[in-house]
Structure 1
Amino acid sequence: MASTEIRVQILRQAFERSESIIAVHYASGNLFKSKDSPVPVTCVSVTVLSDNSTSAFSLSDIDGQDLEQRETELLRRFFQFLSDQQDAKLVHWNMDKADYGFSALANRYRWLSGEDPHYRPSADRLFDLDQLLTDTFGEGYVPHPKLPSLAALNKIGQRYWITGKEEADRAENGDYAAIQRSTSEKSRAIAELFREFASGSIVTERSAGSVDFAGAKADAVRVVLEIADRMLYVERSLRSRHGDRDTLTVKDEYDVQDLLRSLLVLFFDDVREETWSPENAGASSRIDFTLPDYKMAIEVKKSRDSMTAKTVGEELIADSHKYAKHPDISHLVCIVIDHEGRLKNPRGLEKDLSKNSTTEGIAVTVRIVDR
Structure 2
Amino acid sequence: MSASKRAEIERLIDETYEIESTLSEWQPRGVVTPAELRAGQEKYQSWYARASPLVSDPSSREKFQNMYEGGMVIKRIKSFLAHPLEINQFHDPNSKESPIPKWLHVYASAFLDSFQTQRTLLQAEIYAVAEPSLALTEIGDMFTRFPRFLQALIRSKKPNVPAPKIEKEEDLQVLVGACLRLMYDDVRPEDYVPEQAGGRSRVDFLLPTAGIVVETKLTRESLTDRRVGEELAIDWNRYARHPDCRGIFALVYDPGRHLMNPAGLESDLTQSQGNPATRVLVIH
TM-score (norm 2): 0.52
The one-letter code of the counterpart of 1:226 is D
Task: Provide the C-alpha distance between the structure 1 equivalents of 2:149 and 2:181, rounded to a whole number of angstroms.
Answer: 15
Partners of 1:203 and 1:331 within 8 A in 2: no
Contact 1:305–1:342 under 8 Å retained in 2: yes
2:131 is matched with 203
Distance 1:278 1:222 in 2: 27
State the SS of the aligned residue for 1:294. Answer: coil
Aligned to 2:249: 333
Q: 2 CA distance for matches of 1:325 and 1:335?
A: 20
CA contact (8 A) 1:277 1:285 kept: yes
In 2, the alpha carbon distance for the partners of 1:291 and 1:354 equals 19
Aligned to 2:211: 295
Residue 150 of structure 2 is matched in structure 1 by 235
User: SS at 1:246's partner residue?
Assistant: coil
CA distance in 1, matches of 2:171, 2:234: 24
Matching residue's letter, 2:283 = V
Write out per-residue CA displacement over residues 96-147 of structure 1, whole angstroms, 9 at most, x where no aligned residue: xxxxxxxxxxxxxxxxxxxxxxxxxxxxxxxxxxxxxxxxxxxxxxxxxxxx
Alpha-carbon separation, structure 2, partners of 1:316 and 1:254: 17
Q: 1:291·1:297 contact (CA, 8 Å) conserved in 2?
A: yes
**Structure 1 pair 358/311, CA: closer, same or farther in 2 (3 Å)?**
farther
Distance change in 2, residues 1:358/1:15 (3 Å): closer
Partner of 1:97: none
Check conservation: 2:248, 2:278, Cα contact below 8 A.
yes
Which structure is higher in helix share? 2
Instruction: Give 1:253's match in structure 2, choosing from 161, 169, 194.
Output: 169
| Alignment partner, residue 363 of structure 1 | 277
Structure 2 distance, partners of 1:244, 1:13, is 47
1:318 aligns with 2:254: no
Matched with 2:47 is none
Q: CA deviation at 1:363?
A: 1.3
Gaps of 5+ in 2: 8-123
**TM-fit CA distance, 1:322:** 1.0
**Distance in 2 of aligned mates of 1:309 and 1:358:** 23
Moved >4 Å (runs of 4+): 11-16, 196-200
Counterpart of 2:198 in 1: which secondary structure? coil
Question: Given residue 228 of structure 1, which amino acid in structure 2 is its aligned partner?
Answer: F
CA distance in 2, matches of 1:254, 1:14: 39
Per-residue displacement from partner, 1:306-355 (whole Å, max 9, x unpaired)?
01222111111112211121111111101100122211121121111224
8 Å Cα contact 1:250/1:256 also seen in 2? yes
CA distance in 1, matches of 2:190, 2:180: 15
1:235/1:250 contact within 8 Å kept: no
- Distance of aligned partners of 1:288 and 1:13 in 2 relative to their CA distance in 1, 3 Å threshold: closer
- Residue identity opposite 1:233 in structure 2: R
Q: Which residue of 1 aligns with 2:268?
A: 352
Aligned counterparts, 1:78-89, within 5 A: none
Percent identity over the alignment? 32
Alignment partner, residue 259 of structure 2: 343
| SS in structure 2 at match of 1:315 | helix
Distance 1:255 1:227, change over 3 A: farther
The answer to whether the 8 Å contact 1:323/1:362 transfers is: no
1:31-46 alignment, distance < 5 Å: none
Structure (1 or 2) with the larger CA radius of gyration = 1
Query: Residues 172-214 of structure 1: CA distance to partner in whole angstroms, max 9, x if unpaired?
Result: xxxxxxxxxxxxxxxxxxxxxxxx999784225x32xxxxxxx
The amino acid across from 1:320 in the alignment is W
Say if 2:202 is the partner of 1:286: yes
Helix, strand or coil for the counterpart of 1:233? helix
Change (3 A) 1:235 1:14: closer
Query: Take 2:279 and 2:206, find their aligned partners in 1: how far apart are those partners?
Result: 14
User: Larger strand proportion, structure 1 or 2?
Assistant: 1
Partner of 1:266: 182
CA RMSD of aligned residues (A): 3.0
Question: What is the TM-score normalised by the length of structure 1?
Answer: 0.41
Post-superposition shift, 1:260? Answer: 1.1
Q: String of CA shifts for 1:140-174, please: whole Å, max 9, x gaps.
A: xxxxxxxxxxxxxxxxxxxxxxxxxxxxxxxxxxx
| Partner residue in 2 for 1:83 | none
8 Å contact from structure 2 (residues 172, 218) kept in 1: yes
